[in-house]
């Protein structure tokens, strides 16, 4: 098995950072190495991997606040959406691809939670890092109905673009488990069970009440 994939609790609000690498080529990337980037860098070093890129799913501080330290430790360039405030060296647009050894990373532009949001799909392993678009049992917060509509479109696109057995790896540990699959979320995530965007907007607006009714935390 040449895949290296580690989900690491970095701190913050139950934030997850990810180490993704290919043992054969000894190349790896860090995804959202915030709060404690040194932990991810150390894991790469321990496995003999060279970090080639630091990737941000989106520009919120709790996802990019480790960039400076991560760059200092690895000398790797930052890769993110052109609008990301992390001032990326490598601009990732919709359907951009990046090679990490034998791994092909595909980026899908998924605005809504914020305008510069991307999800990262690893083609060979049907593995999807969802940032703050899709959590286990929840979706990313939005600031207006317009943003929520955009997020709905992004979610529908993700569901259409990737196979059902795709595992999803979120930016925060907000769910009943730290990982899920698209198939499981489709039948259990209340936001993906909405029949249409209006129902989605209603659930977002009524979420506090819904959570209480369902005994969710
Ligand atoms: Zn966010």
pLDDT digits (tens, 9 = 90+) for 114-123: 999 999 999 9
What is the pLDDT averaged over residues 124-128?
97
Ligand 1 centroid – CA 132 distance (Å): 5
Looking at the predicted structure, is the pLDDT value of residue 11 above 90? yes
Looking at the predicted structure, is the pLDDT value of residue 217 above 80? no
CB 113 within 8 A of CB 53: no
Ligand 1 centroid – CA 131 distance (Å): 7
- At 155 the three-state DSSP class reads helix
What is d(CA 172, CA 41) in angstroms, rounded to the nearest whole number? 20
Looking at the predicted structure, is the pLDDT value of residue 132 above 90? yes
Ligand 1 centroid – CA 63 distance (Å): 7
Instruction: Quote the tokens at residue 40.
Output: 């991810």
Q: Quote the pLDDT of residue 47.
A: 95
Digit-coded pLDDT (tens) for 136-152: 999 999 999 999 999 99
What is the pLDDT averaged over residues 52-80?
98
What is the pLDDT averaged over residues 85-101?
97
Ligand 1 centroid – CA 89 distance (Å): 21
Q: Quote the pLDDT of residue 113.
A: 98
Ligand 1 centroid – CA 2 distance (Å): 31
Ligand 1 centroid – CA 172 distance (Å): 9
| Main-chain phi, psi angles of 143, to 5 degrees | -100, -10
Q: Which of 33, 31, 30, 20 is nearest to 66 (CA)?
A: 33
Q: What is the pTM of this model?
A: 0.96
Q: Quote the pLDDT of residue 1.
A: 75
Ligand 1 centroid – CA 44 distance (Å): 25
Instruction: Quote the tokens at residue 48.
Output: 């003999």
Digit-coded pLDDT (tens) for 153-186: 999 999 999 999 999 999 999 999 999 999 999 9
Taking a 5 Å cut-off on Cβ, the residues next to ion ligand 1 are 60, 132
Ligand 1 centroid – CA 59 distance (Å): 7
- At 21 the three-state DSSP class reads strand
């Amino acid at each position: 098995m040449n895949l290296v994939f580690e989900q690491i609790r970095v701190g913050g609000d139950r934030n997850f950072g990810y180490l993704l690498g290919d043992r054969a080529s000894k190349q790896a990337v860090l995804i959202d190495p915030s709060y404690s980037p040194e932990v991810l860098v150390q894991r790469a070093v321990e496995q003999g991997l060279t970090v080639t890129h630091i990737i941000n799913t989106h520009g919120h501080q709790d996802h990019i606040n480790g960039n400076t330290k991560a760059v200092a430790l690895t000398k790797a360039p930052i890769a993110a959406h052109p609008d990301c405030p992390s001032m990326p060296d490598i601009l990732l647009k919709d359907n951009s691809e990046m090679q990490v050894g034998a791994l092909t990373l595909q980026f899908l532009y998924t605005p809504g939670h914020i305008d510069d949001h991307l999800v990262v799909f690893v083609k060979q392993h049907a593995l999807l890092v969802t940032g703050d678009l899709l959590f286990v049992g929840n979706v990313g917060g939005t600031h207006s109905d317009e943003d929520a509509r955009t997020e709905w479109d992004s979610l529908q696109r993700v569901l259409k673009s990737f196979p059902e057995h795709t595992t999803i790896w979120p930016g925060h540990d907000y769910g009943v488990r730290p990982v899920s699959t698209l198939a499981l979320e489709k039948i259990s995530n209340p936001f993906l069970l909405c029949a249409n965007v209006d129902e989605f907007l209603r659930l977002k607006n009524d979420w506090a009440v819904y959570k209480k009714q369902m005994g969710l935390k």
